[in-house]
Amino acid sequence: YKAKETRSGHHVYRNDDDSHGDARLRTAEELRLALRTDQLVVHFQPKVDLDTGIVHDVEALVRWNHPSRGLLYPDSFLRLVEEAGLMGRLTQVVLGKALDQAATWQAAGRPLTVAVNMSASSLVEQDLPERIGAMIVARGLSPSVLMLEITEDFLMIDSVRARAILTRLRAAGIRLAVDDFGTGYSSLAYLRDLPLDELKLDRSFVMTMADDPRAAALVESTIALAHSLNLRMVAEGVEDGIAYSMLVGYGYGCDQAQGYHMSRPVPAAALDAWLAARLPQPVRAVTR
Ligand code: C2E
Ligand code: MG
Ligand code: MG
Ligand code: MG
């Protein structure tokens, strides 16, 4: 590595240091190895239906079970995956594992739908709907077992192209959600024009609504907006009983809640144990 000396005599490492690039290459190599040797794992987090307290749906979230660094979370490696041109392969792996698990749950008599996060780079792959369709058929599943979570940035890049892609996926029977809703700069027009099934309200709103009346008002009006467009509303980042109770409340009418208050993302076996041990949950008293 190259180091330069500061006036105080300390060594600092320059940002354009060659060693930085080397380290990155090494990690990209590690990533390829991880894909070859099946080091990626998928955890599942339940989405609780607030009318019934029942879990019908889970979100699949990737982790990297690194041989020396332990369990790594997506925020620490997804950018590298993208830079290394490996996102297509990661998506394929996660879809495969999520659908395998959906088939296992179905065979066990407890059907759960799985939601998989899709990067914009994976969504634009030409044969995506056909490939996903084949993966679903190979496992004897119905396409409605799968939901894809897309982000507003994908919708913003090229709305005409985005609509064409989403329309093909939807025509194949796959359901679609907009993730982290409220954090992008998208207009209301795309909500009207795109074939969507669900909005997932970003956790920044949900986590602040108990203390900030303006956040609460935004949550409430966003839920009303979703319902006026016949979209299911899911609140992310439900971390405590206060947030849960607010969402169950009649004025909110949110459809589902996801967050640490119910369960963190966990391996499938741990989710099974959690579901089996669960007591009846507080649910909405008033039917809409
Ligand atoms: P996301 O899709 O919005 O997923 C929700 C994230 O919020 C997860 O972080 C989850 O663990 C976390 N979370 C859930 N409940 C709570 C809560 O109550 N409080 C707080 N503070 N956080 C909560 P995770 O698993 O680290 O994933 C981060 C992001 O990485 C995801 O955000 C998603 O954008 C991306 N990601 C995860 N798996 C995949 C994947 O397979 N493919 C792609 N392309 N992206 C993925
Ligand atoms: Mg998501
Ligand atoms: Mg999200
Ligand atoms: Mg409902």
Walk along the chain (288 residues) and give the pLDDT tens digit of each residue: 334 444 444 444 444 444 455 666 678 999 999 999 999 999 999 999 999 999 999 999 999 999 999 999 999 999 999 999 999 999 999 999 999 999 999 999 999 999 999 999 999 998 999 999 999 999 999 999 999 999 988 888 777 888 999 999 999 999 999 999 988 776 777 888 899 999 999 999 999 999 999 999 999 999 999 999 999 999 999 999 999 999 998 678 899 999 999 999 999 999 999 999 998 888 887 554
ipTM: 0.98
Ligand 1 atom with the smallest distance to the CA of 94 is 41
DSSP 125-188: -TTHHHHHHHHHHHTT--GGGEEEEEEHHHHHH-HHHHHHHHHHHHHTT-EEEEEEETSS---H
Which numbered ligand comes closest to the C-alpha of 147?
2
Q: Which residue has the least CA distance to atom 45 on ligand 1?
A: 117
Distance 89 CA to ligand 1 centre (A): 19
Q: 0.90 cut: is pTM over it? A: yes
Q: Which residue has the least CA distance to atom 17 on ligand 1?
A: 237
Interstrand relation of 11-13 and 198-201 (parallel, antiparallel or unpaired): unpaired
Out of 236, 261, 262, 263, mutate this one to test ligand 1's pocket (max ligand atoms within 8 Å of CB): namely 236
> Residues 252, 253, 258, CA angle at the centre, nearest 5°?
90
